[in-house]
A and B are shown apart, each in its own frame.
Chain A
Amino acid sequence: MQTMCNKVDVVHVPDGFLDPATSVSTGVLAAGTVALALNRARAELDDRTAPLAGLTAAFVFAGQMINFPVAAGTSGHLIGAVLTAVLVGPWTALLCMTAVLLVQAVLFADGGLTALGTNVTLMGLLAVLVGYGVFRGLAAVLPRTRTGVLTAAGGAAFLSVPAAALTFVGLFALGGAVDLPLGAVASAMTGVHLLIGLGEAAITVAVVGAVLAVRPDLVHGAQGLRTAAALQDRRPTAAGAAR
């Protein structure tokens, strides 16, 4: 039970990492984004928002505990921002990630209370909205097939991780508590997070593919794939006539 709660791989910014000005500005940004998301999700799902987003948040929370083998003996954890956005749409996904981060901060002391705005900005605003933007951009260029959707989801998941990490380095440059050689930190963070991004992309593609195989109608990002079954004449066959 204890090991289930301690997810040290999904790193959340703790209290005291950034100066008050940066924490407050990311907090205001996060609050505005969440308010917009509440509005947009209600427009998409009306009174289904709370149960569906709540259950999806529970899924993300459980999914982050699965240890996925990625390559050559290494394993990765799901962050799930792009995966959730592709599955349920960006606004609902943003609310789910916010709910997960809130629960982790309040119930598990994972991610500081004063850094909650920063964490929502990084994992919600950046990873979900930017990731979903990249997904839509890629999906628009790629062919409208299952492979196209999966490639777009993988690319977006891959980019979302280093993008969030680099934004964190940027925030640290603006409001960090210490004078660091930022170039070196940025390249180290990017290097590590490109690898984590590869894992995230592999997991995202595999999970979206699995859902597409059984319930393609539940994949928000694959709505373009749905086509009405073509009507066609069927000649009566011997088997049909016998029935």
Chain B
Amino acid sequence: MGAGHGGALTARFLPGDSVVHRLEPHAKLVAVLAFAVVVVATPVHAPWAPAAYAGYLVAVLGAAAVAGVGPGRLLRGLVVEVPFVAFAVLLPFVARGPRVEVLGLALSQSGLAAGGGLLAKATLSILAATVLAATTEPRALLRGLQRLRLPSLLVQILMFMIRYADVVGSELHRMRVARESRGFTGGGLRGLRVLAATAGALFVRSYERGERVHLAMLSRGYTGSLPTGPAPTVDAHSWAVALALPLAAAGVLAAGMLAG
């Protein structure tokens, strides 16, 4: 994989010792979810909506600065948004309603507001989630989800998944090296057959590894549940720090509603 210990899943984690890094993961999850809820609850067509988006942006960039997450990392986090940029850019052209002239183009007024709103909301939420992923290890995030009462079986599935995602991923990588060192270049239907055989073999190996892992765990006394330590307690101060982001956003929203 070339990234040393870790791989694809921990690639987003940025080791550090900031206030945000030290927060309990479930407090951070609650904060990011609450922030997303506030952002989503902002009415798109309100005249003060752009000002509110700017306020949220300041809040989330402030959180990123405190956490030591640089602009490069934040921008890379935004790559997932690319397909929706296309959709949001199309909206002013295809939406119905009164038209306005922008640079000689007749654009739908509601489409402009909605497209801009969708883009702003998605961007803000992705930025907050990027800060979360950059300051919290995958395993810690799972502990947070467990603390938030995600069903324990689902938490276990996620644990096995993040534990073995890099193992399975590097198996895939070794298969690619083996393929290409034998002159495989891909393309065409023959390429599809070869890659399908790769994926099929990867499934068989993953499933068999699951069976072996299960037997290994049985021999260590596994009964269908994993022991967990005592639930971490979060004092009022940490909650206040964690909830600063959504509370700031909620303040912006309330100010907008009062002013508008």
Contacts and interface: CB of A to CB of B under 8 A. Distances in A.
Interface of A: 1-2, 4-6, 8, 11-12, 14-17, 20, 23, 34-35, 38, 41-42, 46-59, 61-63, 65-66, 68-71, 73, 78, 87-88, 95-96, 98-100, 102-103, 105-114, 177-181, 184-185, 202-203, 206-211, 213-215, 218
A53 to B, nearest CB: 5
A47 B223 contact: yes
B246 interface: no
20 contacts: A12-B80, A51-B160, A55-B168, A55-B213, A57-B157, A58-B168, A58-B206, A59-B203, A73-B187, A98-B154, A102-B158, A109-B125, A109-B129, A112-B36, A113-B32, A178-B95, A180-B95, A206-B193, A207-B203, A211-B200
Contacts of A213: 200
A9 B104 CA distance: 33
Contacts of A15: 36, 39-40, 121-122, 124-126
B201 A55 contact: no
Interface string B147-187: 00001011011111111110111011000000000000011
A38 B152 CA distance: 10
Contacts of A112: 36, 40, 122, 125-126, 129
Contacts of A114: 33, 36-37, 40, 125
A13 B152 CA distance: 26
A106 B80 contact: no
Contacts of B80: 6, 8, 12, 14, 108-111
B232 to A, nearest CB: 18
Contact of B117 (A62, A63, A177, A215): A177
Contacts of A12: 80
B193 to A, nearest CB: 6
A181 B111 CA distance: 11
Which among A23, A47, A108 has the highest number of chain B CB atoms within 10 Å? Answer: A108
Query: Is the contact region of chain A dominated by helix, strand, or loop, or is it mixed?
Result: helix
A147 to B, nearest CB: 16
Contacts of B111: 178
Nearest to A76: B192
Interface in B98-114: 110-111, 114
Given A14-B84, A70-B192, A5 B159 contact: no
Given A95-B154, A113-B33, A181-B94, A14 B160 contact: no
Nearest to A50: B156
Given A106-B133, A209-B196, A213-B200, 17 more contacts: A5-B12, A14-B84, A14-B126, A16-B40, A16-B125, A20-B37, A55-B209, A55-B213, A57-B160, A58-B169, A61-B168, A62-B171, A107-B138, A107-B141, A109-B80, A114-B125, A207-B199
A51 B133 CA distance: 24
B46 interface: no
A167 B162 CA distance: 30
Interface stretch (B1-9, B14-22, B61-69, B234-242): B1-9
A56 B160 CA distance: 10
A207 B161 contact: no
B211 A16 contact: no
